Structure 1
């Protein structure tokens, strides 16, 4: 068992897919639950929001890993979180009857880092999509992004972000686009938060990404 605490918002009826939202540093499993109805107003998807495994002295809330330097997660805590989150994803697919092929990983800030990490993990199944709000593709020993996969990516970032500079989003866009992935990129003059101006594009991305995973007749 992954032992991660989580919240969830069920779909209306049989879910057409799964959306897993990973919170940012200092938040918890409750933080992004309200985003479920914003991104999926028709409640087509089963939405799950896990909480990070760490509590860092001097910091409120939960964390996925220790931050010695932005962009470069601490090796040990990153890999420990990676393993726990991988088990959580596997358990969630089994429990909900969904699959990686109809799953989107989303997150804000540190949660975007975990979405990239599991969504592009070389030892992990490829999800249908990744939604990264104000995050980055990490640089950490023992992990490299696997870009040879059919995963669509949505990136949204603020040019005035004082925590994670806009270059992280642009670098991720360039890396993934050059690798041949389908990337939807948005930036604005926002700071370190989810810009409401990016929500319509995010809703469209989520809808089209999960729609393409439905079986055809």
Structure 2
């Protein structure tokens, strides 16, 4: 298997004592800089500490990867399983408990967000944001949608996506709704990208999942 490198990360500090954390995982071939601008868009008041990790694999055609491609929706099991403990270690270092973490990502990052919240024995986050991804089918990592029962979940996908067809986003929406999650769904006519039109709905999920803890 390809060697894994330690996770690098960019950190956007909270304005004061962090009331939670917002962790965004990039897509295939990108890096820790790619989703960093989304932190301020989704948490403009900087109530949360923001983290954008860089994936541990360097694979063709370049950039960082969370797993080796083996088709959709089937990540390569060896590299997929190897990335999970690396992400767990990063999440364990956060200054807030996991129940106050909004975990999300784009494309491969969305896939890993599902893996970390629906897989065996996973703890419950504050919310999940899945952009242009799919629910992974990986041997040895069954998904249990009921783990996110009552948890806010934002799913967004472009109807013109040629990389990961929108049917996979719709499937995730339907599966999570059946499991009892509080699903916000956005579908717009864009390709494999983050549509700025999704931001207000995503921001509302973040704010609603982690209401201010400062006494009024």
Give runs of ≥4 in structure 1 deviating > 3 Å: 214-217
- Provide the rounded CA distance (Å) in 1 between the counterparts of 2:215 and 2:76: 44
Determine whether 1:138 maps to 2:153.
no
Offset of residue 216 of structure 1: 8.4
Query: How many residues align structurally?
Result: 210
Partners of 1:100 and 1:120 lie apart in 2 by: 14
Map Cα deviations across residues 144-196 of structure 1 (whole Å, 9 max, x no partner). Answer: 12223342210000000000000101110111111111111110101100001
Structure 1 unaligned segments of length 5 or more: list them.
none
Aligned to 2:56: 53
Q: Which residue of 2 aligns with 1:202?
A: 202
Deviations 1:27-52 (A, max 9, x none): 11111111111111111110001110
Give the TM-score of the pair, scaled to structure 2. 0.92
Give distance in 2, aligned partners of 1:211 and 1:137.
28
Q: Relative to structure 2, which stretch is displaced further, 178-187 or 156-165? A: 178-187
User: How far apart, CA to CA, are the structure 2 residues paired with 1:180 and 1:215?
Assistant: 29
Q: Secondary structure at the match of 2:197?
A: helix
Please show how residues 110-121 of structure 1 align to structure 2 within 5 Å: 110-121=108-119
RMSD: 1.7
Q: For each residue in 1:59-112, what CA deviation from the matched residue of structure 2 results, as whole angstroms up to 9, or x when unmatched?
A: 1110000011021100100000112111211122xxx2x011111001011000
TM-score normalized with structure 1 length:
0.92
Deviation of 1:121 after TM superposition, in Å, equals: 2.2
- Give 2:190's aligned residue: 190
